[in-house]
Chain A
Amino acid sequence: MRVYLRYAFKETFTNLWRNRMMTVAAVLTVAVSLSLVGSALLLKQSAAQASAQWQQGTRVTVWMQPTASQSEIDSVKTQLTSMPIVKDCQYFTQAQDYQQAKTLLPADEWSVLTPSATPSSFRCVPSVPTDAFTVQSTFANQPGVYQVTAPEQQIRQMNHAIRILQIVFLALAAVLLLSATVLILNTIRMAIFSRRREVSVMKLVGATNWFIRVPFITEGFIQGLLGSAVAILAVTALHTWYPLHNEFALNSAALVGTNTVVLVVGVVIGSVGSAIAIRRFLDV
């Protein structure tokens, strides 16, 4: 066994060194594709975490026309309080909204505002964040209602953008992973070709099939491993230095999880690439 391990080790590294240009190409392709996979995963986790946090505080605001009559306001109020999906509702009068606008808006903007031109509003919390849409569609066209706003909409748009970005990342990564596998397959094929004399002698003197195969498999395995190591560095760097703050910032557990996926995928494509090469080109 020790003899064999020494042999396999020596053969593997001799092969890697002999085909070093191909090895470098394969390792870099694995690294780039896995970096993309890792970034896509981080992005997804960031987005999921951020939108979960935002949704906890989702509010839906029914803005009344500044000219709305009292009966219109009362009607909206009755309906809101009777809706089971609305957990909690608060009415802000025109004066209150004016005061809030004063604190929120820049001076030159609120100075043109007068209390009588400010809409009054109902600030409601739906029991489930997505119910904000129901509230929105129910009240948007009621008499006296100026507008219904829910940050849920922005969250959705943002999530949508992130999802598209993520799909692009993953599609790119898939293509690159495929080419990485083919590259590894090719390096192993070249290794097999450059060692065909040794292989034929090994077969002749009765080396077992696995004895002949293993150095080639470890070669692909190591290429995958090196590629994923580089990708892990890249993903970790992205996590450490990329300016994702507040609710986007991920803890280190998420990073470890992502890096584990990167490592496993790297090792798998390395092994699969060499396994295919061995099946097709190493006739033992």
Chain B
Amino acid sequence: MIRFENVSKTYKNGTPALRNVTLDIEKGEFVFLVGASGSGKTTFLRLLLHEETPDHGRILEAGRDIGELPKWRVPYLRRNIGCVFQDFRLLPNKSVFENVAFALEVIGRPRSTVESQVPQILELVGLADKSKNLPHELSGGEQQRVAVARAFVNRPLILLADEPTGNLDPANSESIMALLERINRTGTTVVMATHDKALVDRMRRRVVELDRGEIVRDQVRGVYGIDEGVAI
């Protein structure tokens, strides 16, 4: 589903963000991306979204080299990728329903689709009864669930999450993880960048560790810290 071939990226100020990264992620996999701040996790996700382009190497998504996409095709690429962030990025003046519906409306989905899909996805994330509330009336965990609903309402092939539990307490982190797992079980590939050691250790999923832009570890059933895992 996702393939990095010798990808390097250096920002204009000279900071190398990724160095010669080669990685394969299969369809339906759940991958944790761990590493210290500045290790290149976010750059990895931005490259997948085509918000940045690599200096060297190729990135393939669903078998296609995204570096060869013409600029006008990039939005269509993004329709296949859902995104969740630490800071939720909800629109404060829109209700829960409108926030999720917005994602469908702006890619031109007809109203009938919006009306059938949005309640369904809000049911999935357990917020059916709060669809009329504004984001500030919700708890952080609930807001993040709205963000997940928005990312998934279009049924993307890939879901990217950049520290989705970074602003949440353990209980809420737990519910977000359960949600991401559930989405993963539908066949969606999930890539999650995180600092949450407890979560990673408990989930026992594939862990890719980055350090100063390089992959230093890739474990099938990994844990957060290198000393606790068994390298393969």
Pair A197/B106 contact, Cβ less than 8 Å: no
The chain A residue with its CB closest to the CB of B83 is A204
Quick check: which of A136-144, A205-213, A271-279 contacts chain B, the rest being far away? A205-213
Q: Which of A7, A204, A212 contacts B78 (CB 8 A)?
A: A204
B91 at the A interface (CB under 8 A): yes
Contacting pair A206 B91 (CB below 8 A): no
Say whether A201 faces chain B, with CB atoms less than 8 Å apart.
yes
Given known pairs A203-B78, A204-B78, the reply for A7 and B106 (CB within 8 Å) is yes
Question: Shortest CB–CB separation between residue A3 and chain B, in angstroms?
Answer: 6
Q: Which residue of B lies closest to A202 (CB)?
A: B106
In the complex, per-residue mask of B99-120: 1 if CB is within 8 Å of any chain A CB, else 0:
0001101111111000000000
- B residues near A209, Cβ cutoff 8 Å: 72, 75
Query: Which residues of A (1-31) have their CB < 8 Å from a CB of B?
Result: 3-4, 7
Q: Is the C-beta of A88 less than 8 angstroms from some C-beta in chain B?
A: no
Q: Least Cβ distance of B151 to chain A in Å? A: 8
Which secondary structure dominates chain A's binding surface?
A: helix
Number of A positions contacting B (CB below 8 A): 17
Rounded to whole Å, the gap between the CB of B229 and the closest CB of chain A is 33
Instruction: Find out whether the CB atom of B89 lies under 8 angstroms from the CB atom of A207.
Output: no
Is the C-beta of A247 less than 8 angstroms from some C-beta in chain B?
no
Asked if A200 contacts B78 (CB within 8 A), the reply is no
Known: A205-B78, A206-B75, A206-B76. A3 touches B105 (CB 8 A): yes
CB-CB < 8 A to B150: which residues of A?
A: 201, 205
Contacts of A211 in B (CB 8 A): 106-108
Nearest CB in chain A: distance from B195 CB, A: 22
Knowing A197-B89, A201-B89, A201-B91 are in contact, say whether A207-B107 is a contact too (CB < 8 A): yes
Q: Which of A198-232 contact B (CB under 8 A)?
A: 198, 200-209, 211-212
> Are A4 and B108 also in contact (CB < 8 A) when A197-B89, A206-B78 are?
yes
Chain B: interface residue total (CB-CB under 8 A): 24
Cβ 8 A contact of B105, one of A7, A197, A212: A7
**Least Cβ–Cβ distance between B14 and chain A, in angstroms:** 23
Asked if B154 contacts A208 (CB within 8 A), the reply is no
State A212–B78 Cα separation when bound (angstroms). Answer: 15
Partner of B108, one of A3, A198, A212: A3
Q: How far is the CA of A207 from the CA of B103 in the complex (A)?
A: 8
Please report the C-alpha to C-alpha distance between residue A197 and residue B111 in the assembled complex, in whole angstroms.
23
List B contacts of A3 (CB < 8 A): 105, 108-111
Instruction: Please name the residue on chain A nearest to B104 by beta carbon.
Output: A205
Minimum CB–CB distance from B81 to chain A (whole Å) comes to 8
Complex: how many Å from CA A202 to CA B104? 10
Q: Is B79 an interface residue (CB 8 A)?
A: yes
Does B77 interact with chain A (Cβ within 8 Å)? yes
Q: Which of B75, B107, B108, B110 has the most CB of A within 10 A?
A: B75
Of all chain B residues, the one with the shortest Cβ separation from A208 is B75
Chain B min CB distance to A37 (Å): 38
- If the complex has contacts A197-B89, A197-B91, A200-B89, are A205 and B103 also in contact, measured as CB distance less than 8 A? yes
The one of B77, B80, B91, B106 in contact with A207, judged by C-beta atoms closer than 8 angstroms, is B106
Whether B75 pairs with A207 at a CB distance below 8 angstroms is: yes
Do B91 and A198 touch (CB < 8 A)?
Answer: yes
> How far is it, in angstroms, between the C-alpha of A37 and the C-alpha of B89 when the chains are bound?
47
User: Is there contact, CB below 8 Å, between A201 and B77?
Assistant: no
Mask: chain B, 108-138; 1 = CB below 8 Å from A; 0 = not: 1111000000000000000000000000000
Q: Which residues of B are found within 8 Å of A206, using beta-carbon distances? A: 75-81, 107, 154
| Minimal Cβ-Cβ distance residue in B for A205 | B103
| 30 pairs, A vs B, C-beta closer than 8 Å | A3-B105, A3-B108, A7-B105, A197-B89, A197-B92, A198-B91, A201-B89, A201-B91, A201-B102, A201-B103, A201-B150, A203-B75, A203-B78, A204-B49, A204-B78, A204-B89, A205-B106, A205-B107, A206-B76, A206-B77, A206-B78, A206-B107, A206-B154, A207-B75, A207-B106, A208-B75, A208-B76, A209-B72, A209-B75, A211-B108
Binding site for A on B (CB under 8 A): 49, 72, 75-81, 83, 89, 91-92, 102-103, 105-111, 150, 154
Besides A201-B150, A204-B89, A208-B75, 9 other A-B contacts (C-beta < 8 A): A3-B108, A3-B109, A200-B89, A201-B89, A201-B106, A205-B78, A206-B76, A207-B106, A207-B107
What 5 A-B pairs come out closest when comparing CB atoms? A206-B78, A206-B79, A207-B106, A205-B103, A206-B75
